[in-house]
Amino acid sequence: MRPTQQIYSNYTEHDFLVWRTLYNRQSEILRPIVSEEYMEALRAVRFTADKIPNFEEVAALLKPLTGWSLEVVPNISPQKTFFEFLSKKKFTATCWLRTMEQLDYLEEPDMFHDVFGHTPLLSNQRYVDFFKGISDIALKYIDSPKAIELLGRIYWFTIEFGLIKEKGEEKIYGAGIISSLGETKHCLSGKAQHLPFSVQTVFDTDFRTDILQDKYFVIESFQQLFDALPEIEHLIELQVRNQATA
């Protein structure tokens, strides 16, 4: 059974070794290619290699910045539950860590993905405004499989696997890249397409979860994502309406 609450004293020396190994390895490769927005966020939540983040301490740091916190879940949450927590400014995160034998690949997201990958940017106001905006749209259309599928594509190509342009260079901000050694090495290698962010193009783009990505969308800023929310909702509304009258 996966834990449903973080009991910090339960972490073992092996857990601390896993966190330290992953943190140091990813930090070294990310430093020159990750978004400065992420680096600022990492400093804001005070993550280090030698300490597994304590969720209560993280929440205390996030509260005066954006009001967000972490909600412990044992594994991936059902869609409605996930979006309901997001709408309450709570990001669902696991608190268990992979083993040393699983460093390079894990089928389900563990704490390193959820916390190292996602949590720092919860300190960035424009980022969480977009995050919450997606959840509000999702809850409005939660009974429409098509709407949730389209929002899943937005989430995948931004929150999970997004790139951002900073000072003329493409940088990483997506948690699925940040927490994965293979994805980090691959995304800027020239082996995949880099496309300017477009809501309609994202809606028209399929993805697979079991391979390195072959397409990445590049945003100009988190403000651009936030400003795209009305278009996202409008296009989803049209899709839902067209399905209803088909």
* Domains in the chain with CATH codes: 8-245 (1.10.800.10)
pLDDT at 244 over 80: no
pLDDT at 233 over 90: yes
Kindly indicate the confidence band of residue 75, based on its pLDDT and cuts at 50, 70 and 90.
confident
Which residue pairs, CB below 8 angstroms and at least 24 apart, start in 15-20? 15/52, 15/97, 16/50, 16/52, 17/100, 18/97, 18/98, 18/99, 18/100, 18/103, 18/112, 19/49, 19/52, 19/97, 19/111, 19/112, 20/49, 20/50
Rounded to a whole number of angstroms, the distance between the first and last alpha carbons of the chain is 45
pLDDT at 143 over 80: yes
Q: Are 71 and 85 in contact (CB under 8 A)?
A: yes
Q: Are 178 and 184 in contact (CB under 8 A)?
A: yes
pLDDT at 78 over 90: no
pLDDT of residue 105: 77
- Cα–Cα distance measured from residue 91 to residue 119, given in angstroms and rounded to the nearest whole number: 8
Kindly indicate the confidence band of residue 134, based on its pLDDT and cuts at 50, 70 and 90.
very high
pTM comes to 0.95
Bridge partners, 93 (sequence order) = 72
Max Cα distance, the chain (Å): 59
- Cα–Cα distance measured from residue 158 to residue 218, given in angstroms and rounded to the nearest whole number: 8
Q: How many CB atoms lie within 10 A of CB 229?
A: 18
